[in-house]
Amino acid sequence: MSSLAEPPVNALTSIWTWRGQRIHYARRGDGPPVLLVHSLNAAASAYEMRRVFLGLEDAFDVIAPDLPGFGASERRRMDYTAPLYVDFILDFCRDRIGMPCHVIASSLGAAYVIRAASLAPELFEKLILIVPTGIRALADERPTRLRRALRTILFSPVGTLLFRLLRTRPVIRYFMTTQGFHNPACFTPEHADYLYRTMRANNAKYAPVAFLTGMANCDVSDRFGRLSHPVQLVWGKQARTTPARQAEDFLARKPDAQLALFDACALLPHDEQAAQFNQLAKRFLRA
């Protein structure tokens, strides 16, 4: 399989060359621009945002890139770090959008958006952050000796064997139905097939290695409270790896942020309760 997986949504798709890498993004709709930033995991891509993309296209210019190293974007053997992803978001906003945009971002992707918005606030309007990390979870960025050693191991043939285990259908289903979704029935066969295929792209392991070792962590504990942008936090009540109580860490730093708790949802309320999420997003972004 080539280094480029198939695009996640049926839309106008483009390739943008950023720092010599081919970056895939989908774009559709008309109205104020909304940038969708997916989370990081072993099978991450803009596919995570497909229901938001399709649900907002009637009112917004919706743009969904695959972050470097994921999805249909080029996957190089290199180190993927928080500064790299923050730079990518800033450059993408300047070059591909060209005007202040709203952002909907998930998990570690939300942490990168927080840092980007703190560095260049003029590029952004309103932020919807879905189960964000960066204050307690996935906040330690230190390139420790242990992390560097794990990175070396996972970059080696041993790491390739371990990644082959991660990309099996039973393992994919286990993680998605015990952590991603509260209701296992929400993890559809189509979703499983896409994750299975995208994890088999050439060089698919290198960006996930950064996530698995903590090398892509992003600390926003000092930056979040300084944001001037309106912020809507969204959390699944049944989230386990990043539980809803961690929303208190964000609200303590920015009391004017709004919080919506979605019942019967885990880490993916924008997928598990897509209609409810899209209604909330439209109401918040239009206000």
Alpha helices in 204-273 (DSSP H): 206-213, 247-253, 269-272
Q: By C-alpha distance, which of 42, 23, 128, 43 is closest to 84?
A: 23
**pTM (2 d.p.):** 0.95
21-35 pLDDT tens trace? 999 999 999 999 999
- Tell me the CATH architecture of domain 12-286: 3-Layer(aba) Sandwich (3.40)
11 pLDDT more than 90: no
Q: Could you state, in order of their start, the residue ranges of all structural domains in the chain?
A: 12-286
Query: Residue 156 class from Cβ within 10 Å (0-12 exposed, 13-18 middle, 19+ buried)?
Result: exposed
153-197 pLDDT tens trace? 999 999 999 999 999 999 999 999 999 999 999 999 999 999 999
Instruction: Give the sign of the dihedral formed by CA 268, CA 273, CA 278, CA 281.
Output: negative
CA 238 → CA 10, 144, 181, distances in Å? 31, 32, 9
Average pLDDT, the chain: 94
Residues 140 and 214 sit within 8 Å (Cβ to Cβ) = yes
DSSP lists the bridge partners of residue 33 as 61
